[in-house]
Amino acid sequence: MSKYIKTLEQIEGIRKSCHEMAVIFDKLIPLVKPGLDIGDLESVACKLIAEVGGRPAFKGYKTHKSAVPFPSALCVSVNNEIVHGVAIPGRILYNGDIVGVDVGMELGGYYSDMARTLPVGEISPKAQKLLEVTERALYLGIDQMKAGNTLDDVGLAIQRFVEPNGFSVVRELVGHGVGLDVHEEPQVPHYGIKEAGLPNVRLQAGMVLALEPMVNEGDWHIKLGKDGFAFVTKDGKLSAHFENTVLITEEGPEILTM
């Protein structure tokens, strides 16, 4: 059996965590409007996670032992921030912004992970198209998450939709396995990987993967922001991010964060 395969008991635990996370996320979406203090969104998210007996998966997370722990439960990334924006009090959303909200939860030892990029008030037509293309790309990728397909099939479906629409797919940041930890193997790129020489894992029933295309208005290059947490577009243009946790089954992909 592949090291990536979850047991039926583990799948049920992950499914429950993901379901509760999706319910919480639906309660956060209406709060995103002009004038919102991001710290208030963080407070509500922490309260809702605690009410179901969960724990924020990102708060205190370290990428390695000597890393600074991530300081918030939410990753809230505004405009040219791609991912990992810190949800700090005093940061206000304004009309015309786009904001990526990424949240994970540990519930009973099982992890969920999901993200959406949301409009703040009235946004520009170009920003609206970016959101629509990124969300559609996520679901085109999920359509390819079938037992027997490969990570290259998934990434190509995303890339071949995004690029003809005039946008670019971030290369340096990827999706990942999830369920028993915040981040697990395999890494899941969102572009065709055969020519890049990356491991082209074949999908099998029982795998649980977080698919999360990050799409830039300009080119795909990124840099680390001044706070040391958020990644931003190198050219300063907008970026969008959508994510679901997905179970591979013999019958096809099951989106768990719905």
Hey, is 19 helix, strand or coil? Answer: helix
Residue labelled with tokens 């922001």: 225
Determine contact, residues 35/93, Cβ cutoff 8 Å: yes
CB 4 within 8 A of CB 204: yes
Count other Cβ atoms within 10 Å, centred on residue 237.
Answer: 17
**Residue 197 or residue 247, greater confidence:** 247
3 assigned to some structural domain: no
Question: What pLDDT was estimated at residue 213?
Answer: 98
Q: Is 185 annotated as a binding residue?
A: no
Residue 168 has pLDDT above 90, yes or no: yes
**26 assigned ligand-binding residue:** no
Residue 2 lies in a domain: no
Residue 42 has pLDDT above 80, yes or no: yes
Q: Does 84 belong to an annotated binding site?
A: yes
CB 4 within 8 A of CB 201: yes
Residue-wise pLDDT tens digits, 93-121: 999 999 999 999 999 999 999 999 999 99
Per-residue model confidence (pLDDT) at position 63: 83
Does pLDDT of 8 surpass 90? yes
The predicted model gives 159-186 an average pLDDT of 97
pLDDT in tens, 58-85: 999 988 888 899 999 999 999 999 999 9
Task: Specify whether the CB–CB gap between 67 and 97 falls below 8 A.
Answer: no
Q: Which of 51-55, 160-164, 224-228, 238-242 has the lowest mean pLDDT?
A: 224-228
**pLDDT for the residue 252:** 96
DSSP string, 206-228: T-EEEE--EEESS-S-EEE-TTS
Q: How many domains does the chain have?
A: 1
The per-residue pLDDT of the chain, averaged, comes to 96
50: CATH: 3.90.230.10
Q: Which domain holds residue 74?
A: 8-255
Provide mean pLDDT across the span 163-180.
97
Residue type, 55: R
pLDDT of 89? 96
- Per-residue pLDDT at 1 exceeds 70: no
* Mean pLDDT along residues 168-184: 97
Q: What percent of the chain has pLDDT over 70?
A: 99
Question: Where does the pLDDT of residue 198 fall: very low under 50, low under 70, confident under 90, or very high at 90 and above?
Answer: confident
**Residue 180: which of 104, 123, 121 has the closest Cα?**
104
Q: Which of 21, 8, 15, 9 is nearest to 254 (CA)?
A: 15
Amino acid 118: pLDDT: 98
What end-to-end distance do the CA atoms of the chain give, in Å?
Answer: 28
- What beta strand segments (E) does the chain contain? 55-56, 74-78, 81-83, 98-107, 110-119, 168-169, 175-177, 184-188, 208-211, 214-216, 222-224, 231-233, 239-241, 244-249, 252-255
For 62, other C-beta atoms within 10 Å of its C-beta total: 10
So what's the pLDDT on residue 3? 80
pLDDT of residue 64: 83
Domain-embedded: residue 169: yes
Stretch 203-214: mean pLDDT:
98
Name which of 78, 113, 125 is nearest 232 in CA terms: 78
The per-residue DSSP string of 36-48 comes to -BHHHHHHHHHHH
Does residue 197 have a pLDDT over 80? Answer: no
Three-class secondary structure of residue 247 per DSSP: strand
Residue 239 has pLDDT above 90, yes or no: yes
On whether 102 is known to bind a ligand per the annotation, the reply is yes
Q: What is the CA radius of gyration of the chain?
A: 17
